[in-house]
Structure 1
Amino acid sequence: MIKLAIIGSGSMVFTRRIITDLLLDKNLSSMEIALMDIDAEKLRVSELIVNSVANTIGVKPTVRTYLDRRKALENADFVQTTFQVGGFNPATKIDFEIPKKFGLNQTIADTLGIGGIMRGLRTIPVLLNVAKDIIEICPNAIWLQSVNPMAMNIMAISKIFPEINVIGLCHSVPLTAMMLANDLEEKYEDIIFECAGINHMSFYLSFEKKLPNGSKIDLYPKLKLIAKSILNGEKISSRTLEKSNHGKFMAEKVRYDILARFGYFVTESSEHFSEYVPWYIKNSHPKLIKEFEIPIDDYIFRCENQNKIWENYSENLTQKSNLEIFTSNEYASNIIKSIVANNIIQVNGNVINNNYISNLPNNSCVEIPCEINNNGIYPKKIGNLPTQLSALISTNISVQQLTVEAVLKQKKEHVYHAAMLDPHTAAELSITQIHQMVDELIEAHGEMIPKLK
């Protein structure tokens, strides 16, 4: 019997998505699912969600719950990690509120920027403990890692446990490709692309339409025309037409602006990407926020909305409840289904750069096409990225490397270095302000982060 251990099953949206995908597959309808969380109430609700999905589909998997991570990992074939160390309150609130005192605004704060740095300090030690447990308890398991900040986490895990079978997974590559297909008024199944870079800053190096006769059409010229229309206000992206899960219409002007200026389309959403660079969220140019429709503090609203959904589940869900069934496009479930069926699958995964992208550092984490089968994970060599893309990506890699070093060497000075070199932070604050802000953040985090010397 195939066993999946979900570490952090209280992340109900992801748990529901991946379990639904798996239980709809006849090869996995009776699989074993180990749900693990440190929060007993969230664990209870996640079990109700899984059982409700199973009831609706009409299958009977073996579902067990654990507060003990090591017990949950016993005999696991696959391990999925999806959790937020420190939670929304207090950790995420701290990440937003203290920088705001210094005049530093953020949108998501989970990947880069000062929020991403602090999240890395909280998260890396926990994931290293997970890695140690996997090595000791289920060393042959495939670890499907989805916790942010992705690049920092994979860099740290791979440095300490190079033998572990881990791949970092993010859905931004396929979801953005679907959005672009819609913007182009093309069918997604006709689209072929090559995409490479780092997590949340990968670029579609090619984006083409496959014709019935086997030939291909480059869709970038048409995308660049769409960019002009969107930036001129004559058109909006297909993503903007649909209200998000937290009730907002999300603009895509930032990404189309990057396409116009750098020549390639980036994978992560405009609200994310705007805080990875120094050009869009600026106190000295407040009109940019309105011009590019950048949702400041958006992650706060997302978390509050998720908490309301969770409270509704907690109060109303029962063992006999039925939940609406829908499939997702999550890489994790597709990987498990393919391996169990002895098929080969290609995904864009996050792995350590062993010269796969020649003009990025070898110890960085890159997001590139990876072929996965029963024998392992096989990343594809890309070669050189266009120079402007490698230069832009390198500004983010420096921050990631320094944050990882801060944790592994317990050096406070590297936290300062990471914050000083962060593009958005450096564009807004003086070097003295950055030091003061870091000191306040470290003090506010207390025991949520390792002791730094």
Structure 2
Amino acid sequence: MHAPKITFIGAGSTVFAKHLMGDILSFEELRDAEIVLYDIDEQRLGESLAVGNKIKRQLDVPASISATTDRSRALDGADFCINMIQVAGYKPGTVVDFETPKAYGLRQTIADTLGIGGIMRALRTVPVLADMSKDMERLCPDTLHINYANPMAMNCWGLSRLSKIRTVGLCHSVPHTAKELADDIGVPVDEIDYLVAGINHMAFYLKFEHKGEDLYPRIRQVMEEGRVPDWNRVRYDMFKRLGYFVTESSEHFSEYVPWYIKSGREDLIERFNIPLDEYPRRCENQIADWQRLSKDMQDPDKTVEIERSVEYGSHIIRAMVTGQPAVIYGNVTNDQIISNLPQGCCVEVPCLVDRNGIQPTRIGALPPHLAALMQTNINVQALTVEAIVTGNRDHIFHAAMLDPHTAAELDLDQIWALTGDLLKAHGDWIPENLR
């Protein structure tokens, strides 16, 4: 294959773009890649370009790195499109997603995947991705669209119905959680064999073994000995009740279910150490960190740290370019992959990657209680996607009505009023027919 053209969409996410550029250019087979950085923010785009050129110099590779605010130019002939956009950004998008529900007494931790915040983020994001995909169909119809943008499942599900472009969604929760569990039980993570399946942020380790030994008894021992990390109490509690460990962090998971965040139950917040408003706090910290680091990253006399991340993106590109197989965890359309989840929904499973592209592993049936728990989240995803695809605004309210956390906190009149307020507050960020 020719030197691949790799387009970064939303490249103003400079720190994440830095990790991915370092990953890609660290592979010998990809050192001559053409990387095109695209964003609507010229300042952030310029900062990302400066970082990319610094990585190129440090690695001494012949890669081509350029930046543009012209989307058509960025996509034209792209072999791979890596998407990392955040429509409406932290301000106003995330702020509205948190502050408006809070006025109704509905508190959240991350609000980017499910819940009323996740629904709104999907309404902002899927139409933009679908519009981009029309350009891809015209300018690079054979590209692989690698989506990192949240809400992962709703974005990928929506695109599967609105676009012909091949898409795989990537998330780092599987390898991150494996490393955390490995640290908890004192087993090197690179010696652990695991099998994970489910939906994004609610997938479970169906197998977690070391040289044929089931490691779940050792994880139970962590609970018995009182060694559960303070920041991971929710997931260990779910493990105690379900018998399987979930992939997504405790702060995320606590808002996907109705049991941990409840008005008037501060004892639960304290007992499970739930970080309410965690995402806005994280965003503010990242902004402050970036302001401190920005000058250093653009200073030609200072180097950047290049260390391979756990992200799957570069492994996919390398495998498809060279034919050397790799196994990644991807979010793909459920086409007879998990038999007791709805066909067409977005599932997260191991996938073989080579020149043939992304080839998901057929899982069969999940343990029924895990599938039932996932279904409560899939209901919300399905109705949100249906609203976007069909333009039926009522389904936004139905999605909110069926959201586990929202329904546990608010009555139907409150849910209707809150949803209406959020749609109004988002204004032009949401398609006119859905406002």
Same fold (TM over 0.5): yes
Unaligned runs of 5+ in 2: none
Alpha-carbon distance in 2 for matches of 1:14, 1:72: 18
Cα offset, 1:315, TM superposition: 4.1
For 1:190 and 1:63, the matched residues in 2 are separated by 37
The 1-side partners of 2:138 and 2:292 are apart by: 38
- In the alignment, what sits opposite 1:117? 119
Does structure 2 retain, via aligned residues, the 8 Å contact 1:52–1:319?
no
Of 30, 40, 43, the match for 2:42: 40
Cα distance in 2 between the residues matched to 1:328 and 1:32: 20
Does the 8 A contact of 1:45 with 1:313 survive in 2? no
Equivalences for 1:26-175 in 2 at 5 Å?
A: 26-161=28-163, 163-175=164-176
Q: Using the alignment, how far apart are the partners of 1:100 and 1:437 within structure 2?
A: 10
Q: Hey, what does 2:202 align to over in structure 1?
A: 201
Please list, as runs of the form range in 1=range in 2, the aligned pairs for 1:400-419 lying within 5 A after superposition: 400-419=381-400
CA distance in 2, matches of 1:449, 1:26: 43
Alignment of 1:322-341 (within 5 A): 322-341=303-322
- TM-superposed CA distance for 1:59, in Å, is 2.7
Residue equivalent to 2:270: 290
- 1:341-380 matched pairs, under 5 angstroms: 341-380=322-361
What does 1:181-200 align with in structure 2 at a 5 Å threshold?
181-200=182-201
In 1, distance between residues paired with 2:236 and 2:184? 11
The one-character-per-residue Cα deviations of 1:269-322 (angstroms, maximum 9, x if unpaired) are 000000000000111321111111010000001111121233234444436141
Contact 1:346-1:369 at 8 Å conserved across structures: yes
Identity of paired residues, percent? Answer: 48
Instruction: Note the aligned Cα RMSD (angstroms).
Output: 1.3
Provide, for residues 159-178 of structure 1, a one-character-per-residue CA deviation record: whole Å limited to 9, x for no partner. 122x3221111010111111
Superposed, 1:287-326 pairs within 5 Å as: 287-318=267-298, 320=300, 321-326=302-307
Specify the SS of the correspondent of 2:29. coil
1:33 is paired with a residue of what secondary structure?
strand
Alignment correspondent of 1:219: 215
Measure the CA separation in 2 of the matches of 1:365 and 1:128.
Answer: 16
Aligned counterpart, 1:179: 180
- Structure 1 residue runs without a partner (length 5+): 211-215, 241-250
1:80-112, Cα deviation, whole Å (9 max, x unpaired): 000100001111000000000000000000000
Quick check: 2:11–2:38 contact (8 Å CA) kept in 1?
A: yes
Paired residue secondary structure (2:282)? helix
Aligned mates of 1:109, 1:309 — CA distance in 2: 22
Amino acid at match of 1:335: I
Task: Give the distance between the partners of 1:308 and 1:55, measured in 2 at CA.
Answer: 27
1:390 to 356, 371, 390: 371
Aligned residue for 1:252, secondary structure, equals: helix
Distance 1:381 1:410 in 2: 33
Q: Secondary structure at the match of 2:432?
A: coil
Aligned to 2:234: 254
Contact 1:20 / 1:325 at 8 angstroms: preserved in 2?
yes
Separation of aligned partners in 2, 1:139 and 1:277: 39
Distance 1:452 1:295 in 2: 35
The alignment covers a number of residue pairs equal to: 431
Q: What is the one-letter code of the residue matched to 2:4?
A: I
CA distance in 2: counterparts of 1:120 and 1:152, whole angstroms: 6
Contact kept in structure 1, 2:322 and 2:354, CA below 8 Å: no
C-alpha distance in 2, partners of 1:73/1:312? 32
Cα offset, 1:261, TM superposition: 0.3
> What is the match of residue 236 of structure 1?
228
Comparing 384-393 with 132-141, greater Cα deviation is found at 132-141
Aligned partner of 1:248 in structure 2 is none
The alignment status of 1:277 with 2:277, answered yes or no, reads no
The letter for the 2-side match of 1:287 is D
Shift in Å at residue 133 of structure 1? Answer: 1.3
Question: What SS class does the counterpart of residue 85 from structure 2 fall into?
Answer: coil
When structure 1 is superposed on structure 2, of 218-227 and 382-391 the one drifting more is 218-227
Which shows bigger deviation, 77-86 or 163-172?
A: 163-172
Provide the C-alpha distance between the structure 2 equivalents of 1:221 and 1:56, rounded to a whole number of angstroms: 46
User: What is the rounded CA distance, in whole Å, between the counterparts of 1:16 and 1:305 in structure 2?
Assistant: 18
Counterpart residue identity of residue 394, structure 1: Q
The whole-number CA distance in structure 1 between the counterparts of 2:296 and 2:339 is 53
Mapped partners of 1:12, 1:259: distance in 2: 36
Rounded Cα–Cα distance in structure 2 between residues aligned with 1:413 and 1:47: 43
Q: Distance in 1 between matches of 2:322 and 2:193?
A: 24
Q: Is the 8 A contact 2:228 2:236 kept in 1?
A: no
- What is residue 213 of structure 1 aligned with on the other side? none
2:108 & 2:161 partners in 1: Cα distance?
A: 30
SS of the aligned residue for 1:260 comes to helix
- Larger mean CA deviation between 124-133 and 46-55 belongs to 46-55
Structure 1 contact 120–149 (Cα < 8 Å) conserved: yes
User: SS state of the match for residue 348, structure 2?
Assistant: strand
Are the equivalent residues in 1 in contact too, given 2:110–2:252 (CA < 8 A)? yes
Secondary structure of the structure 2 residue equivalent to 1:371: strand
User: What residue in structure 1 maps to residue 25 of structure 2?
Assistant: 23
- Contact (CA 8 Å) 1:410, 1:451: kept in 2 or not? no
Q: Residues of 1 paired with 2:250 and 2:21: CA distance?
A: 29
- Distance in 1 (alpha carbons) for counterparts of 2:293 and 2:179: 30
SS in 2 for 1:452: helix
Using the alignment, how far apart are the partners of 1:269 and 1:255 within structure 2?
Answer: 7
Deviation at 1:56, TM superposition (A): 2.5
